[in-house]
Structure 1
Amino acid sequence: MTDKKTLLLVDGSSYLYRAFHAMPDLRAVPGDATSPATGAIRGMINMTQALKREVRADYAACIFDAPGKTFRDDWYGEYKANRSPMPDDLRSQVAPIYEVVRLLGWPVMVVPGVEADDVIGTLARTAADQGVEVIVSSGDKDMSQLVDEHITIIDTMNGKKRDVAGVTAEFGVPPKLMIDYQTLVGDSVDNVPGVEKVGPKTAAKWLLEYGSLDGLIARASEVKGQAGENLRKALDWLPQGKRLVTIRTDCDLAKHVAGLPALDALVPGAQQVEELKTFYEKYGFKSLVKTLETHAVPPELIEESNKGQKSANPNPGLFDEPAMAAAEKVSNLAYYTVMTWELFDTWLAKVEAAELVAIDTETTSLDESRAEIVGISFSVKPGEAAYVPVGHNYPDAPEQLPRDEVLAKLKPWLENGAKKKLGQHVKYDRHVFANHGIEVQGYAHDTMLQSYVLEVHKPHGLASLAERHLGRSGIDYEDLCGKGAHQISFSQVSIDKAAEYSCEDSDQTLDVHLALWPQLQADEKLNFVYQLEMQSSEALYRVERNGVLIDAAQLSAQSHELGTRIMALEQEAYGIAGQPFNLGSPKQIGDIFFNKLGLPVIKKTPSGAPSTDEEVLEKLAEDYPLPAKILEHRGLSKLKGTYTDKLGQLANPRSGRVHTHYAQAVAVTGRLSSNDPNLQNIPIRTPEGRRVREAFVAPAGSVIASADYSQIELRIMAHLSDDASLLRAFTDGIDVHRATAAEVFGSTPDQVSSEQRRYAKVINFGLIYGMSSFGLARNLGIETKAAAAYIDKYFQRYPGVKVYMDETKALAKEKGYVETVFGRRLYLPEINSPNGPRRGGAERAAINAPMQGTAADLIKLSMVEVQRVLDAEQRATKMIMQVHDELVFEVPEAEADWVRTEIPRIMAGVAALKVPLLAEIGFGPNWDKAH
């Protein structure tokens, strides 16, 4: 224990931007986009209170940038010239943030004409000179130049600590050289140029070799190559650059804070409870008001009442081992490690009696199909959790309860659907328990899916959720197990550390649920989408468990054929080029294309070199054979490396089946993504790509069936736009592309040519993706004016579509999001961006996202309902894949007639739109033939 005092300095400007971008779009009146924005305010409360728990300081201050110019603007007119203005929704929250931070007891500093960095630098140096330990909380790497043996930077968002060793390890130079380092690298955020094309590695190398920036400048003539030339060009600028990046430590702050430089002026105050209550009521923070009224101490508002508990460390959770962090961060935690049957029986009774239990598994692998249980944790109320270790096997590991016996005792509760359970990514845990012969029932909630529905554009990992909604940080998995080649299995983690980690996960999962579930309950549409996601999770678990049979011998034969063709393409390319070259090297390709063969330059890279990217190759391939050969070579190489070589290896050796993983909480539109392997991106536009699907086969006595929706997004457009002509086309069962062609080209449907129908198809699908006249022209190979005329004529014939598009963009600008037919929210952060291309992209997404999202909702509704019917009728048919708008089945031949009739009927009946849904189905011995 030490008597040294501590000063905690908070980079408030960094905090408020982080709070704004991390939190959902909260409003003082929930759901009312016209009421004051409050997300950044709530985030600021969470973050500052979490920091107060983690760092117990004698002195503190929260420092913000003042509006207006600073002395650096006088030095350099282009300083920060490329920064976007503060978003209006954040600007409106700045004054309330200042107010609430003060009410929470923090001294607040905003110094006119001086940046927050310079205020922090001056306070840090003042305190360090007085023998005070300084901790600066900031995500700004520029602060690293302040670090010495008395000043440490912490980044609470990612748990990073920048002391002398940390800075040296991160940047390759010690803190005393950081100003020189920053001068060479430059600062793009503040628009301060460095030396052209000199990055972190070169800067660190030079400084270590020459000792300092001054030493480098003195010997600049010795530096070779292009980097040396660029250095010499920058010599006149470097002194000014250094002046701009240097944080000042000598600002006169006494006139702004009475009592400085004596630090007693920065003693934190007590929270002002009555004023806080008024503030919380004003901004709609009902849970915080309740906390103040009941004098409870939730994670957001923990006082320093736990001083002296558990550890003598004055700053727990930051400088102790990671495993101690969870127990130190929140007062009154009760985390138990279950090592005896007596304590196990006590906790089993608690679990069985609880209305809802958060459960988490610790395993040997992140691969859910192979993972085995190392331990299980439970939480039945906030702040209380227990960990049951059953598989830790490091040297001298204490004796644990036998895994099989523990699972046998838990199995009746786990398989009881009436006992409600909660988890974070429950589909993974379901697989893990299934690996041990337990089919868990009763999963009522999944915090990952709650976040996905409420705030699709935010991260959904538990650490992010706890930080965002509770102001709690926790132990990182990599802190326990390491990473990369040195990562150990969780079974090798000491039980005491594992218990803290797993208990914290269950405890935080329960806490996050208590924060998110009321928001879902309050919104009927969002609650519907959430229940759909929960039901989809169950159906997907079954699909993943079933897997799909792979013909490994056929894939091997395909790989051999592809390899032969790839080698032949290389030789053909060498012949055209007149020399061997690396077909994967942009530099060598560029040299042959533009220097040797004189091909036209289509576009250039940011560095000014002629580009050879995919778009350029496709354009050149229209007229020249070599680019065509390279494109074919790349496509076949990717197909071979990604699919024909690997699919067979990914199959379970016992069953011969591939078990993909479907990620629900990834795509912002609600679509699923598939990985390990990715079954959704198998290329089907080439014969070779389609052949890969031939290797997805049915076992003897069964067939593959593929069912998908017909023209689903166009049908959704008809429903959303309420356009009379589109509605009539689908209601009457008319070929919609032929009907569109007739409207656009002014003819009758039976007079439409195949070329006109192709044009109409491109227009139909292009417009729902927000395609411009330029994009349509490029797709059709016509002039832009002609394409614009087609679009105009389209909107004349389908005026409802134009009205829908305009109204949707306007609504998106007002609310910041659009919705699917079923109420899924699709957020558009760039919809009001001052950047034209970004705003345009968001406007196109606003038009398309409701259609893609509704299509995603429909296929999930189908998946859930089909699985329900299969179970109810005890059918042997298995759902084995979900790919975009398609469901794939393994069907016993005896059930083929039933599937042919019933599956399309079920899919068409899951929702009632203004136009009929149509599902079509095909059968075959393999996936390709089923189409």
Structure 2
Amino acid sequence: MSKLILIDGSSYLYRAFHALPPLTNAQGEPTGALFGVVNMLRSTLKARPEYVAFVSDAPGPTFRDAMYDQYKANRPPMPQDLGAQVEPMLAIVSALGFPILRVTGVEADDVIGTLAVQAHARGIEVEISTGDKDLAQLVRPGVTLVNTMTNTTMDDAGVMEKFGVRPEQIIDYLTLVGDSVDNVPGVPKCGPKTAAKWLAEYGSLDGVIANADKVGGKIGESLRAALPQLPLSRELVTVRLDVPLEQGVEALKLRERDADKLRELYTRYEFKAALKELEGGESAAAAPVPTAAPAVAPAQPADDLSGPGRYELVATEAQLDAWVDKLRSAELIAFDTETTSIDAMRADIVGLSLAVETGEACYIPVAHDFPGAPAQLPRELVLAKLKPIFEDPARPKLGQHAKYDINMLSHYGIVLQGLKHDSMLESYVWNATATRHDMDSLARKYLGYETVKYEEVAGKGAKQISFSQVDLDTACRYAAEDADITLRLHRALWPLLEHVPRLRSVYEDIEIPLVPVLAGMEQRGVLIDVASLRLQSQQLGKRMLELQQQAWKTAGHDFSLDSPKQLQSVLFDELGLPAKLRTPTGQPSTNEEALEAIADEHPLPRLILDYRGLAKLRSTYTEKLAEIVNPRTGRVHTSYHQGAVATGRVSSSDPNLQNIPVRTEEGRRIRQAFIAPPGWKVMAADYSQIELRIMAHLSGDEGLMRAFQEGGDVHRATAAEVFGLAPEEVSANQRRAAKAINFGLMYGMSAFGLARQLGVDRGEASDYMARYFARYPGVHAFMDATREQAHRDGYVETIFGRRLYLENLTNRNQALRAGAERAAVNAPMQGSAADIIKRAMISVAAWLKGRDDAHMLMQVHDELVFEVHEDAVDEVRAAVVARMSGAAELRVPLLVEAGVGANWDEAH
């Protein structure tokens, strides 16, 4: 039978754009979406279709816009980088020999629908290549949908499996659910499950409308209120099957490719492997890889990673034993815990889920306690049977944010060993900025799979119930899916990392070994002097009151310092100060940056800033820390995040230890409340000027390296070089200027910024910078080379190979482009510093393993904080300094300073 392949070109382009990092060629032209489209088209060519068409949206409004002026009103404009790739895409598609169809006044879907019906009527098999759910309405015997990104096919049974309705009910289904992206109004609060349920009960949309008065509750009210607009919604989601076309199916034959044109295009966009194939050097099955590609694209996994799963509720010991047998012979064990709280240090386990093959998983409930809950296996029994497997380092484990589950198991005496993979970290290392790294986001991006959301099973807001209250069947569907999707994500993501040795090393040698280290720090926690904090809180409150009185006196009347509206009135209406920054609605801004900008023009902005600073310390630390002491341990336990900061930095929350100021008296007093128990000391080990040392290493500048190698005051040495003086002749102001340049350059500081920081005119600041670059030419060359690499590749790298992708490098907005270039220069320093301290933590933790006289408690920026028994201080300090100093081999020394005291502040 003949076959027609209809390619949804608009879907291809958007999906490729969002699936790949922001790639560019040497000229800075965006190529990421183009690269993805070429890959998918070459896959289509392998099928050697008799008939084929590349269908794309034509510019301009369609009949749906005329029908409903709010149609697609919520859609943001096409990103500039994507728009720039439309014409090159069409040029490559045409050169490959694909007929291109763009019909004015309708959408690509309507052209595809019309051709599908025409071909089907002539007995031609139709395959629609798309990721668009709306086209499921076209499925019938002989017409299927193919998702080229997940390598899955959807026929009649597939539509029923995915949506819960038959293909002929899809239009009605879409009408009821609506579409927030296209701004098609559906029935408010009617989700996919409700729509499928109504259509199963009443047969069609007309049947639902006819029986609307029988639907009870709030959803029934929503349905009845939506009845007048449902006919319009149905028209909007219905794909037209009668678009007048200039050419029929018989004209849609693949033409001979234009090799000369392809050669020109592949060369321009640097698709080297595609060019090699064109010249006969590779098989057509190979994927083209531009020089800016993030990796060689691996083969698509053989198993279906987006289909439904089969999940087993484990209710008997025999079932549990059968799963234990599976675990013993598994190559990789995906596991997850369901608990009573997201706070791992306060939660209890409610159940566990396991998977060893994609598409199959189980849920073992152990503590569901809703009224009438059926008997479950005892938690002690389940954990006792799983403990030998969890603690066996020879049995590889996989988690999604596994650190949480490691902490949960630790409450029950299980020390997890053999963590081999973490799908969250696989995504984070592959591309930290491509998406959020939670399971729902990853499943959507890398699998094309919509997971069951927690709110769907437990509710949300004030009505949300504990997972222990969720019925077992629902809990199984949600929890077992977690383990299954974790395994599927690994199957999709690990092949990407495997093909890039340096990224694989970052993942295997830094991120995965760090997981148990951070888990151990979280479990240990830190001791807090609660009485001291309460006293500080009172004192901060008193000082805030004094600042409030001063502000009122300065303004001439009372007003609320916490009210932006009142503050706007006082600063800009009464005092007439300039509004240098504005809110998105055009109002004068009173945020920190805006107040700093006018702080030199009147005393009131500075008083407000001081007041806010104290208020933040009081609410975030002096009051909150005392409240979050864990009753189980008597300590405060922060949560560390590996997948949150694009540069690779570890961040913390609840409490955020990164934001306690170190240079203010109030901040230092808060650190005094972080104490050691009797007989112990707090030790703080801090890298000295690590990012500046990394700059010296990466730039290879002889003068800057010499300043560090000689071991003196690097800022004084820099000032001596810049001003042509002997080091002892450098004044305090000259040293301050050199320090500002040294650190400012790493953050892309301009002459204007330097002038503002030093309080000098712009000309003098420019002169300082010119002298600096004249004395340190290697730094200037490094900055230029880094910007060039960023434009060429779309990313920069750390010393160890972590990739840091940068948006806006080709943005037409000069300010955004300049910001991206500044970030490109800074990212290798910040990212390398992050990698180094992570390597240090892994090394130190390995040395501390088995000791009970020292514990690593905190990691804050470039500093590690320990609790050390007073008898072991000297030994531990020497070992920690040695391991931190040896965490990287740089061309300059890595200097570590370690102090000891009764509290964190004293240890500095």
Matches within 5 A, 1:5-404: 13=10, 16-24=13-21, 38-39=35-36, 64-66=56-58, 84=80, 86=82, 92=88, 110-114=101-105, 116=107, 119=110, 137=133, 150=172, 152=174, 164-166=186-188, 253-256=243-246, 258=248, 280-283=285-288, 298-299=304-305, 329-330=307-308, 333-404=309-380
Shift of 1:474: 2.2
Matches within 5 A, 1:614-653: 614-653=592-631
- Structure 2 contact 338–349 (Cα < 8 Å) conserved: yes
> How far apart, CA to CA, are the structure 1 residues paired with 2:333 and 2:179?
28
- Structure 1 contact 136–153 (Cα < 8 Å) conserved: no
In structure 2, what residue type is equivalent to 1:21?
Answer: H
- Structure 1 contact 463–474 (Cα < 8 Å) conserved: yes
- Say if 1:555 and 1:470 are closer, same or farther in 2 by CA, change over 3 A: same
Q: Which moved more, 1:393-402 or 1:403-412?
A: 393-402
In structure 1, what residue type is equivalent to 2:19?
Answer: A
Shift of 1:922: 0.8
Q: Give the aligned partner of residue 577 of structure 1.
A: 555
Match of 1:499 among 441, 458, 476: 476
Is structure 2 residue 857 aligned with structure 1 residue 860? no
- Structure 2 contact 334–483 (Cα < 8 Å) conserved: yes
- Say if 1:926 and 1:80 are closer, same or farther in 2 by CA, change over 3 A: closer
In structure 1, what residue type is equivalent to 2:472?
Answer: I
> How far apart, CA to CA, are the structure 1 residues paired with 2:620 and 2:404?
25
SS of the equivalent of 2:658 reads: coil
> How far apart, CA to CA, are the structure 1 residues paired with 2:187 and 2:97?
32
> How far apart, CA to CA, are the structure 2 residues paired with 1:92 and 1:392?
57
Q: Give the aligned partner of residue 326 of structure 1.
A: none
In structure 1, what residue type is equivalent to 2:316?
Answer: T
- Structure 2 contact 658–861 (Cα < 8 Å) conserved: yes
> How far apart, CA to CA, are the structure 1 residues paired with 2:799 and 2:238?
55
- Structure 1 contact 359–378 (Cα < 8 Å) conserved: yes
Q: CA RMSD in A?
A: 4.3
In structure 2, what residue type is equivalent to 1:431?
Answer: N
Q: Give the aligned partner of residue 413 of structure 1.
A: 389
Shift of 1:164: 2.8
> How far apart, CA to CA, are the structure 2 residues paired with 1:80 and 1:608?
21
In structure 2, what residue type is equivalent to 1:403?
Answer: R
In structure 1, what residue type is equivalent to 2:844?
Answer: V
Question: Per-residue CA shift, 1:162-206, capped at 9, x if unaligned?
Answer: 663138999xxxxxxxxxxxxxxxxxxxxxxxxxxxxxxxxxxxx
- Say if 1:519 and 1:611 are closer, same or farther in 2 by CA, change over 3 A: closer
Question: Per-residue CA shift, 1:687-726, capped at 9, x if unaligned?
Answer: 1122111111111111111101111011100100000111
Question: Per-residue CA shift, 1:602-637, capped at 9, x if unaligned?
Answer: 455555544433234224333423222222211111
In structure 2, what residue type is equivalent to 1:891?
Answer: V
> How far apart, CA to CA, are the structure 2 residues paired with 1:165 and 1:802?
60
Shift of 1:905: 1.5
- Say if 1:603 and 1:38 are closer, same or farther in 2 by CA, change over 3 A: closer
- Structure 1 contact 570–633 (Cα < 8 Å) conserved: yes
SS of the equivalent of 2:849 reads: helix
- Say if 1:623 and 1:536 are closer, same or farther in 2 by CA, change over 3 A: same
- Say if 1:577 and 1:737 are closer, same or farther in 2 by CA, change over 3 A: same
Q: Give the aligned partner of residue 891 of structure 2.
A: 914
- Say if 1:499 and 1:97 are closer, same or farther in 2 by CA, change over 3 A: farther
> How far apart, CA to CA, are the structure 1 residues paired with 2:334 and 2:787?
41
Q: Which moved more, 1:838-847 or 1:602-611?
A: 602-611
> How far apart, CA to CA, are the structure 1 residues paired with 2:300 and 2:657?
49
Shift of 1:780: 0.9
- Say if 1:27 and 1:298 are closer, same or farther in 2 by CA, change over 3 A: farther
> How far apart, CA to CA, are the structure 1 residues paired with 2:475 and 2:191?
27
Question: Per-residue CA shift, 1:893-927, capped at 9, x if unaligned?
Answer: 00111123221121111221111111001111111
Matches within 5 A, 1:483-882: 483-531=460-508, 532-605=510-583, 608-871=586-849, 874-882=851-859
Shift of 1:574: 1.9
Structure 2-normalised TM-score?
A: 0.76
SS of the equivalent of 1:658 reads: coil
SS of the equivalent of 1:621 reads: coil
- Say if 1:98 and 1:340 are closer, same or farther in 2 by CA, change over 3 A: farther
In structure 1, what residue type is equivalent to 2:325?
Answer: A
Q: Give the aligned partner of residue 131 of structure 1.
A: none
- Say if 1:85 and 1:548 are closer, same or farther in 2 by CA, change over 3 A: closer
Q: Which moved more, 1:821-830 or 1:79-88?
A: 79-88
> How far apart, CA to CA, are the structure 2 residues paired with 1:629 and 1:26?
47
Q: Give the aligned partner of residue 425 of structure 1.
A: 401
- Say if 1:513 and 1:27 are closer, same or farther in 2 by CA, change over 3 A: farther
In structure 1, what residue type is equivalent to 2:555?
Answer: A
In structure 2, what residue type is equivalent to 1:66?
Answer: A
> How far apart, CA to CA, are the structure 2 residues paired with 1:634 and 1:773?
30
> How far apart, CA to CA, are the structure 1 residues paired with 2:170 and 2:889?
67
- Structure 1 contact 27–37 (Cα < 8 Å) conserved: no
Ranges in structure 2 where 5+ consecutive residues have no aligned partner: 1-5, 44-52, 70-74, 119-130, 136-168, 193-224, 230-235, 251-281, 290-294
> How far apart, CA to CA, are the structure 2 residues paired with 1:378 and 1:793?
63
> How far apart, CA to CA, are the structure 2 residues paired with 1:253 and 1:866?
69
SS of the equivalent of 1:164 reads: coil
- Say if 1:795 and 1:487 are closer, same or farther in 2 by CA, change over 3 A: same
Shift of 1:72: 12
> How far apart, CA to CA, are the structure 1 residues paired with 2:409 and 2:456?
26
In structure 1, what residue type is equivalent to 2:769?
Answer: I
Give the aligned length.
Answer: 765
- Say if 1:884 and 1:157 are closer, same or farther in 2 by CA, change over 3 A: farther
In structure 1, what residue type is equivalent to 2:671?
Answer: R
- Structure 2 contact 111–243 (Cα < 8 Å) conserved: no
Structure 1-normalised TM-score?
A: 0.74
- Say if 1:289 and 1:449 are closer, same or farther in 2 by CA, change over 3 A: closer
Shift of 1:73: 13
Shift of 1:471: 2.8
Shift of 1:360: 1.3
Shift of 1:98: 10
- Say if 1:410 and 1:387 are closer, same or farther in 2 by CA, change over 3 A: same
- Say if 1:279 and 1:27 are closer, same or farther in 2 by CA, change over 3 A: farther
Q: Which has the higher contact order (CA 8 A, sep 6+)?
A: 2
